Structure 1
Amino acid sequence: MPGFSRREILLGGAGALTAFAAGGLGARQALAAEHSLTLSRLNHSVLPETVTADMMSFSPSGPPPVLRFRKGQTTTIDVKNALDEASVVHWHGLRIANNMDGVPYLTQYPIEAGNAFRYEFTPPDAGTFWYHPHCNTLEQIARGMTGVIVVEDEEDAGFDSDLPLNIRDFRLGGDGQFIAFYKPRNAARGGTLGTVSTVNWQPQPVYELAAGSLVRLRLAVTDLTRVGRYTVSGAEALVIAIDSNPLPQPVAMDEIVLAPGQRADVALRVPNSEDEVATLVLKKPNGDKVLATFQPKGASAGRDLRELKPLKPNPVPQADLANAEVLDFVFGWSPGGDAPQASICGSLGYTFWSINRVAWGGDVPGPFDPLATMRHGKSYILRFRNESPNDHPIHLHGMSFQLLRSNKRKLPPLVTDTALLLEEETMEVALVADNPGDWAFHCHVIEHQKTGLAGFLRVEA
């Protein structure tokens, strides 16, 4: 944990803590930030003719804004906490400095009610990312706190427009009000699904797009739980990137599986006629569900998907597999029944899950031991073994890794930060430990994370 010792935290040091929570009081704070977020409660209409009370957002007036950064350019974001509880902001998938990663106590102190913090970092990669709280994570995300990040590359690929799609459920009753965010028996299994599917906080929105144009759809699954199968119907569409990293070759958008935390960039060729529509569809056993509709407007632009330039690979270092050290991680149920520690960042009160037979104790000052320690610049193979009959999207902060192999399926050589580990699957991935610090490592089914399936990996400089 940066800045102060655990003893200093527990014994006080109020002045130092206030300065840290405010993001520092140096000269750089005198300059206005490029972006600002206000963590807020609000009432907002999700279902027609109803207003959902007590939602949360990064804006006091509506859904979280799309944040747009430039690859290789430093950006600043001022975060003001207008909630009545603590929070932090994590920038999911961004390979940035550890002290800007937004994990309570591991990388920074929680931003308490009424306080502010300035984040400053330089995104090294282009693509689609997202942001969310990492404190009282389940409730704050459940109430709405998930937003999309777009990191622009230096060179334009040739799209006519760009449409971020924040895909997530809310757990609402028929009256449009929140119901229980989770059920303990589901948390100990696959997780608790939402009741209302939305895109950008809207059920089945319709987007008017120029007929015959080329649109970059940025799918970001920011849901708490749902592992879904997605397709585009009624138009030509190619998947061009997964989890911010370009594919070696685009593939047809017949059907892709995306778990919480994952993203997909899709090149859509809008139909030529206003009489034709394209749809984003969630495939479900009890019937497919249209999530969003893309309505052509005007005369056809006559574009062709072959006109697009290939996306540039992100500068993720490639592991030296011949000299890589293997680290094993077992994901499964918790061997003990100890309750997690009380925390300013909340607890569900259960420890159902564990990594390497150790359940995460909660977001508290610690001290905690890392699940593994890696040497800066060294190559590693991480072996993930799932002992449970449930799927786990495994997310690593601060670094990206390449999929290698599985005992259940053939894996494409994708570079990612969030890998879906299937039931009873063993998967190997490779990385270079190129980013010093303590990096959170957890399942992105948030009920699993908050009931023990979390820890951290240490990269020593």
Structure 2
Amino acid sequence: MPLLSRRNLLKAGVGVGAYGAGIALASRFGVASSPAPLLLEAKGTEAILDGTHVTKGMMTYAKADAPSANIPPVLRLRRGEPFVARFTNRLDEPTTVHWHGLRVPNRMDGVPFLTQPYLYKGDSFDYAFTPPDAGTFWYHPHCNTLTQIGRGMTGLLIVEDPKDPQFDAEITINLRDWRLGSDGQFIEQFRPRDTAKAGTNGTVRGANWRVEPSFDAPTGGLVRVRLAATDVTRIYALKLDGAEALVVALDGHPVPKIDRLETITIGPGQRLDLALRMPDSEGKTARLIDVRPSSAKTVANFRSVGTSLKRTLGDVTPLTPNPWQEPDLKSVERVPLILSATAENAPTQSICGTLGYTFWAINRVAWDGDTPDPMAPLVEMKLGKSYVFNLENNTPHAHPIHLHGMNFKVISSNARAVQPLITDTYLVLPDEKVQLALVADNVGDWVLHCHIIEHQKTGMTSFVRVI
């Protein structure tokens, strides 16, 4: 299937990405009989985030049939079934939608200049694809990301599989914090001295746009908790108090071995699925706690309601695995990916936002901004061939590295014992060297970047090309 060049996309104009072009794309990507589109829009809003003040100047996604909702809706798809979202931008600045973790056709990936034109206010585009994988994913913009994500544009996306085991309830958690002042209004999203280190954390920590929300679930029941870390910066270390749970999936894929949750660390962009066994006494509450970096903070509560169902964690069965082509480790091509700090170049001005600094690089080259002619790809990969990314973190900070459009398997690490996880986002530790194996199975230009957004926007971004 021939790829459209970036120049051709831009020459065609943003209008080509509107309704008519979206329908045409739907049939070209295996959605021959398009379902009725989900009507989704980006817009401004306001909400109470700190429990007291109304925060103005927020940004969100909304369904056309629920325009008054504040928090972005949880979108539910089914594996192997076509999906179309007719997206309209109501913001006063350009934006797009990226479907984080989903293996979609390249033109549906939502990266300005690399895969599609950005959408100005009033523009529409039909995102059409058939999800091959089930699991917990999320969606967000890939334009002016520090502001747009930082002000609310992060929503959970669930791809269901009817073959998955049944739970007594399901709870979705959009985990993030906010940069707010004492009056509840937004303050500067980043501080350069922090951007050059681990990043600038928020001041109000919460879930589902609330501080310490409480969720009701059946007493003594088994609950599937789907959690996405959608924050721009914060790395979480999560544990439970007052209940037990099993880790059943990470980043949308079943874990190789189901284990009890002790403490698990996840970075921005990562997802966690738990099988939570609720307390046996009605009214009793369990707490999900973030213990990083020092003082413990409750991010969500789970309250038992009703008569005990008397389920046990022994009732939990594995999730249905997603399709996966095993890399041929005997014939792989190895690709070096070195994460480092840099101060060599000034960033290029971009309509999709620049922070005005360059601090980070991949293979000693800093991303020069979202421009019509970005740098050359890190590597050109041949469709169907196996590769190993030799990822080396030469910095004293952790980086959640996310690959668009494809999944990889964790093979080995010099810093810790690793499971052979299939994932799209790996939290690489300081001074860690890790091997990530994959088969290049999706044609196109695919962004690879740190999901600490300040790091992404100050250089730790590049892309790979599959031909």
What is the TM-score with the length of structure 2 in the denominator?
0.94
Aligned to 2:7: 6
Residue 98 of structure 2 corresponds to residue 98 of structure 1: no
Aligned to 1:124: 132
| Cα deviation digits, residues 334-391 of structure 1 (max 9, x gap) | 251x222221111111111111111101111114310111110000110011111111
Aligned to 1:267: 275
The answer (yes or no) to whether the contact 2:6–2:372 under 8 Å persists in 1 is no
Distance 1:320 1:328 in 2: 18
Query: How many angstroms does 1:421 deviate by?
Result: 0.9
Match of 2:15 among 15, 18, 21: 18
Query: How many angstroms does 1:249 deviate by?
Result: 2.4
The answer (yes or no) to whether the contact 1:97–1:435 under 8 Å persists in 2 is yes
Distance 1:402 1:40 in 2: 37
Distance 1:224 1:130 in 2: 13
Residue 363 of structure 2 corresponds to residue 356 of structure 1: yes
Residue type at the aligned position of 1:395: H
Residue 42 of structure 2 corresponds to residue 42 of structure 1: no
The answer (yes or no) to whether the contact 2:172–2:225 under 8 Å persists in 1 is yes
> SS where residue 141 of structure 1 aligns?
helix
Distance 2:421 2:287 in 1: 26
User: Which blocks of at least 5 consecutive residues in structure 2 are unaligned?
Assistant: 28-32
Match of 1:190 among 198, 216, 223: 198
Distance 1:402 1:37 in 2: 33
Aligned to 1:292: 300
Residue type at the aligned position of 1:221: A
Residue 397 of structure 2 corresponds to residue 390 of structure 1: yes
Matches within 5 A, 1:366-405: 366-405=373-412
Residue 450 of structure 2 corresponds to residue 443 of structure 1: yes
Residue type at the aligned position of 2:44: R
The answer (yes or no) to whether the contact 1:158–1:309 under 8 Å persists in 2 is no
Matches within 5 A, 1:226-245: 226-245=234-253
| Cα deviation digits, residues 142-165 of structure 1 (max 9, x gap) | 100100011001214120111110
Distance 1:4 1:435, change over 3 A: closer
Distance 1:20 1:213, change over 3 A: same
Aligned to 1:56: 59
The answer (yes or no) to whether the contact 1:391–1:421 under 8 Å persists in 2 is yes
| Cα deviation digits, residues 165-204 of structure 1 (max 9, x gap) | 0000001111111111000111111100011111111110
Aligned to 2:30: none
Distance 1:243 1:371 in 2: 24
Distance 1:118 1:345 in 2: 20
Distance 1:32 1:7, change over 3 A: closer
The answer (yes or no) to whether the contact 2:14–2:118 under 8 Å persists in 1 is no
Aligned to 2:176: 168
> SS where residue 24 of structure 1 aligns?
helix
Distance 1:351 1:22, change over 3 A: farther
Aligned length: 455
Aligned to 1:220: 228
The answer (yes or no) to whether the contact 1:43–1:54 under 8 Å persists in 2 is yes
Distance 1:26 1:224, change over 3 A: closer
| Cα deviation digits, residues 203-262 of structure 1 (max 9, x gap) | 100111111111100110001111111012211210001111101221111110100001
Residue type at the aligned position of 2:382: R
Match of 2:348 among 341, 347, 362: 341
The answer (yes or no) to whether the contact 2:9–2:117 under 8 Å persists in 1 is no
The answer (yes or no) to whether the contact 1:21–1:109 under 8 Å persists in 2 is no
Aligned to 1:89: 97
Distance 1:109 1:248, change over 3 A: same
| Cα deviation digits, residues 13-49 of structure 1 (max 9, x gap) | 4x64312244616577997744222101111111223
> SS where residue 21 of structure 2 aligns?
coil
Residue type at the aligned position of 1:391: A
Residue type at the aligned position of 1:389: P
Residue 109 of structure 2 corresponds to residue 108 of structure 1: no
User: Which blocks of at least 5 consecutive residues in structure 1 are unaligned?
Assistant: none
- Larger mean Cα displacement after TM superposition, 189-198 or 46-55: 46-55
Aligned to 1:178: 186
- Larger mean Cα displacement after TM superposition, 161-170 or 29-38: 29-38
| Cα deviation digits, residues 249-293 of structure 1 (max 9, x gap) | 211111101000011100011112124211111013432111111
Residue 287 of structure 2 corresponds to residue 279 of structure 1: yes
The answer (yes or no) to whether the contact 2:13–2:117 under 8 Å persists in 1 is no
Distance 1:154 1:401, change over 3 A: same
Match of 2:311 among 279, 282, 303: 303
The answer (yes or no) to whether the contact 1:21–1:110 under 8 Å persists in 2 is no
> SS where residue 330 of structure 2 aligns?
helix
Distance 1:26 1:239, change over 3 A: closer
Aligned to 1:155: 163
RMSD between aligned residues: 1.8
Aligned to 1:407: 414
Aligned to 1:417: 424
The answer (yes or no) to whether the contact 1:158–1:307 under 8 Å persists in 2 is no
Distance 2:367 2:230 in 1: 22
What is the TM-score with the length of structure 1 in the denominator?
0.95
Match of 2:141 among 117, 133, 143: 133
> SS where residue 290 of structure 1 aligns?
strand
The answer (yes or no) to whether the contact 2:242–2:286 under 8 Å persists in 1 is yes
Distance 2:264 2:294 in 1: 18
Distance 1:364 1:283 in 2: 39
Residue type at the aligned position of 2:424: D
Distance 1:174 1:189, change over 3 A: same
> SS where residue 364 of structure 2 aligns?
coil
Query: How many angstroms does 1:4 deviate by?
Result: 5.2
Match of 1:426 among 421, 433, 436: 433
Query: How many angstroms does 1:54 deviate by?
Result: 0.6
| Cα deviation digits, residues 398-424 of structure 1 (max 9, x gap) | 111111111211111111100111111
Q: Runs ≥4 in structure 1, deviation > 3 angstroms?
A: 1-5, 25-34
Residue type at the aligned position of 1:349: G
